A and B are shown apart, each in its own frame.
Chain A
């Protein structure tokens, strides 16, 4: 991992908070708005303390009016402010879709470059404990579809801070897609301000046998699967795209050219999604000499159920990823990892309700 080493471990939610805090320190036009960001829970800690430090003019809750509030944030951004609009679940962004797609994403182009919308949308995918149909969706593909929008997906605390700081500096609408189960995970995070570049994927693990691209928390699950595969003598190269749009396809292309096998594990449905985009670009690539074997994994093509017995079958997990990768890499079906090896700490630690 190319992450710079510092001595401080920080949790993902703390890193999100620190990124926003330092961005607000550096630039008085940055402000944060969103339902419940100023209460004692502070969006699971990720906005905690900000209202105390910056006051209610720069950190405020809103009425339950996502559609209008998105428009308000866009207008403020056009007029020179740099809003960070926070939503505790990505599902609620459906109420913001019109403003984001028809105004935020298009204004710079539609108004001939005379207008900018430096807006940051922070939002979180939920999972487990009966989050169910309306608190679990990964909708990044919908937003990434639209020119003018940028979409980033931090899979660890280092990126959570660096992408937040970069998003605030960017002069375009940027959607930060976080994941609830990553909130408690730790990484080495520098204390000083820094940015993580958009459009630069990270190779988390090198290998020659197959390429696995994971999105958001599926990066973590793919890493666990890769460890299990290594015990079977299969070396997976695991890639975190870090940003969905813009996408660093070159890194993926180079890896697939080396391994000849590609597994994409998305944190979303497959149909018309980001995983399909990656595979399509691989198919179109003139730099990949041999036709690679490809496979995609993601949500089952159903609505997310609440009961654990169905939810378990809905999501990919280290076990199903490892099995699929093993078959893809070896052509064999003679290995299934033991359940207890496939547990991830963050999953066993998470207890609801939200």
Chain B
């Protein structure tokens, strides 16, 4: 593991890896080598980075189909991810997952689901197992604002609160579900207040203040390891790219470029990078470029699974 001189440098490295990996994915995409729907989290990476920085190898993280960041931050292998996007045998699911169902069980990356909300109770189940096994590990479940509209969101929080399970629910509220804005889906923009009524700590972050999120989550997770029970955070954020695919889409008319520009002015990748020692930043950037380059080469050179392999893994 690389040693960093500061927390800022460590968080930057995590954010920059996801940012650059997804930018490279969006550059490769028009070549049709990646025949998988890609949901990029560009602009939102700081949330997973800030939260997962507090996790150990034996903890779990669950993400969604927009999960490159969660996968990489939790220690998922970049080569396996890239190969999976290419549909190669060396991918993290041997070509069965594509971008939407990333998994790395050995690193505590819970397999991701593309049916919105389905991952939430599954993450709670991991927390239940931790409790039953008397471990002091924790689970973090990442989800979008849209998933909080599914019944299983409320049902899962109720159960986790009831059983004081070690799980942090993190809503990345980019205020969009595909192209539908929040006000067409919620009567009141008071998610955090609603969740607090389950009797668990619930905190909202309106700004992309990566260090504030980092500090808060650090305390919450420490408490959780000593049986404090579940907690919730909501981070307002902004999705820079289209819902699915490699492009920006401010020209489509369903959201304003002004809003996007306000968020871009606060881009954590840039602001945090500027706060680092220049030499250290340059080294981090250089290492990241090299690892991404290597991952792309690895993916391109890996073989596709053979047709006979179709029947592997139907039953355990």
Q: A39-B180, A63-B186, A354-B244 are in contact. Are A129 and B36 (CB under 8 A)?
A: yes
Distance, CA A40 to CA B179, complexed state (A): 8
Question: Shortest Cβ distance from A289 into chain B, in angstroms?
Answer: 39
How many residues of B are counted as interface, with CB atoms below 8 angstroms from the partner's CB atoms?
A: 45
Q: A129-B37, A132-B97 are in contact. Are A309 and B185 (CB under 8 A)?
A: no
Cβ–Cβ contact A306 & B96, under 8 A = yes
A305 contacts B by Cβ under 8 Å: yes
Cβ–Cβ contact A40 & B254, under 8 A = yes
Distance, CA A94 to CA B115, complexed state (A): 10
Cβ–Cβ contact B150 & A92, under 8 A = no
Cβ–Cβ contact B185 & A302, under 8 A = no
Q: Which of B185, B254, B309 contacts A63 (CB 8 A)?
A: B185
Q: Which of A91, A307, A352 contacts B304 (CB 8 A)?
A: A307
Cβ–Cβ contact A64 & B149, under 8 A = yes
- In A313-346, the 8 Å CB interface with B consists of 313-314
Q: A39-B254, A68-B151, A308-B35 are in contact. Are A313 and B98 (CB under 8 A)?
A: no
Cβ–Cβ contact A305 & B253, under 8 A = no
Residue interface mask B87-102, A partner, CB < 8 A = 1? 1100100011111110
B237 contacts A by Cβ under 8 Å: no
- In A8-39, the 8 Å CB interface with B consists of 35-36, 39
Question: Shortest Cβ distance from A18 into chain B, in angstroms?
Answer: 23
Cβ–Cβ contact A130 & B98, under 8 A = yes
B245 contacts A by Cβ under 8 Å: yes
Cβ–Cβ contact B178 & A36, under 8 A = yes
Cβ–Cβ contact A36 & B96, under 8 A = no
Closest-by-CB residue of B relative to A39 is B179
Distance, CA A133 to CA B118, complexed state (A): 14
Distance, CA A50 to CA B41, complexed state (A): 31
Distance, CA A36 to CA B254, complexed state (A): 12
Closest-by-CB residue of B relative to A41 is B179
Distance, CA A41 to CA B180, complexed state (A): 11
Distance, CA A232 to CA B88, complexed state (A): 38
B177 neighbours in A (Cβ, 8 Å): 35, 64
Closest-by-CB residue of A relative to B179 is A39
Residue with the highest number of chain B CB atoms closer than 10 Å, among A129, A303, A352: A352
B196 contacts A by Cβ under 8 Å: no
A131 contacts B by Cβ under 8 Å: yes
B150 neighbours in A (Cβ, 8 Å): 64-67, 95
Q: Which of A94, A129, A135, A310 contacts B305 (CB 8 A)?
A: A310
A146 contacts B by Cβ under 8 Å: no
A36 neighbours in B (Cβ, 8 Å): 178-180
Residue with the highest number of chain B CB atoms closer than 10 Å, among A302, A309, A310: A310
Cβ–Cβ contact A307 & B87, under 8 A = yes
B88 neighbours in A (Cβ, 8 Å): 307
A134 contacts B by Cβ under 8 Å: yes
- In A279-327, the 8 Å CB interface with B consists of 300-303, 305-310, 312-314
Q: Which of A61, A129, A300 contacts B35 (CB 8 A)?
A: A129
Q: Which of A40, A66, A130, A133 contacts B87 (CB 8 A)?
A: A130
Distance, CA A130 to CA B36, complexed state (A): 4
Question: Shortest Cβ distance from B299 into chain A, in angstroms?
Answer: 12
Cβ–Cβ contact B314 & A64, under 8 A = no
Closest-by-CB residue of B relative to A312 is B307
How many residues of A are counted as interface, with CB atoms below 8 angstroms from the partner's CB atoms?
A: 42
Cβ–Cβ contact B314 & A353, under 8 A = no
Residue interface mask A57-97, B partner, CB < 8 A = 1? 00001111111100000000000000000000001101100
Cβ–Cβ contact A310 & B95, under 8 A = yes
Question: Shortest Cβ distance from A55 into chain B, in angstroms?
Answer: 14
B184 contacts A by Cβ under 8 Å: yes
Question: Shortest Cβ distance from A88 into chain B, in angstroms?
Answer: 9
Cβ–Cβ contact B307 & A310, under 8 A = yes
Cβ–Cβ contact B37 & A307, under 8 A = no
B310 neighbours in A (Cβ, 8 Å): 300, 302, 305, 310, 313-314
A310 neighbours in B (Cβ, 8 Å): 95-96, 305, 307, 309-310
Distance, CA A300 to CA B116, complexed state (A): 26
Cβ–Cβ contact B185 & A64, under 8 A = yes
Residue interface mask B123-161, A partner, CB < 8 A = 1? 000000000000000000000001101110000000000
B82 contacts A by Cβ under 8 Å: no
Q: Which of A40, A129, A309 contacts B252 (CB 8 A)?
A: A40
Cβ–Cβ contact A67 & B151, under 8 A = yes
Cβ–Cβ contact B314 & A302, under 8 A = yes
Q: Which of B37, B87, B96, B184 contacts A352 (CB 8 A)?
A: B37
Distance, CA A128 to CA B87, complexed state (A): 12
Cβ–Cβ contact B245 & A305, under 8 A = no
B96 neighbours in A (Cβ, 8 Å): 132-133, 303, 305-307, 310
Question: Shortest Cβ distance from B298 into chain A, in angstroms?
Answer: 16
Q: A39-B254, A353-B38, A353-B245 are in contact. Are A306 and B87 (CB under 8 A)?
A: yes
Distance, CA A310 to CA B150, complexed state (A): 32
B108 contacts A by Cβ under 8 Å: no
Distance, CA A303 to CA B113, complexed state (A): 14
Question: Shortest Cβ distance from A72 into chain B, in angstroms?
Answer: 13
Question: Shortest Cβ distance from B75 into chain A, in angstroms?
Answer: 23
Question: Shortest Cβ distance from B190 into chain A, in angstroms?
Answer: 15
Cβ–Cβ contact A64 & B147, under 8 A = yes
Q: Which of B37, B117, B180 contacts A354 (CB 8 A)?
A: B37
Distance, CA A61 to CA B178, complexed state (A): 12
Please name the 4 residue pairs, one residue from A and one from B, whose CB atoms are nearest each other, closest first.
A307-B87, A307-B95, A130-B36, A353-B37
A63-B146, A303-B96, A354-B37 given; 8 more Cβ-contact pairs under 8 Å: A39-B180, A63-B149, A64-B177, A129-B37, A300-B310, A301-B314, A307-B98, A353-B37
A and B contact pairs by CB, cutoff 8 A, 14 listed:
A39-B179, A63-B186, A64-B147, A129-B36, A129-B37, A130-B35, A301-B314, A303-B96, A305-B96, A307-B98, A310-B95, A310-B310, A313-B307, A351-B32
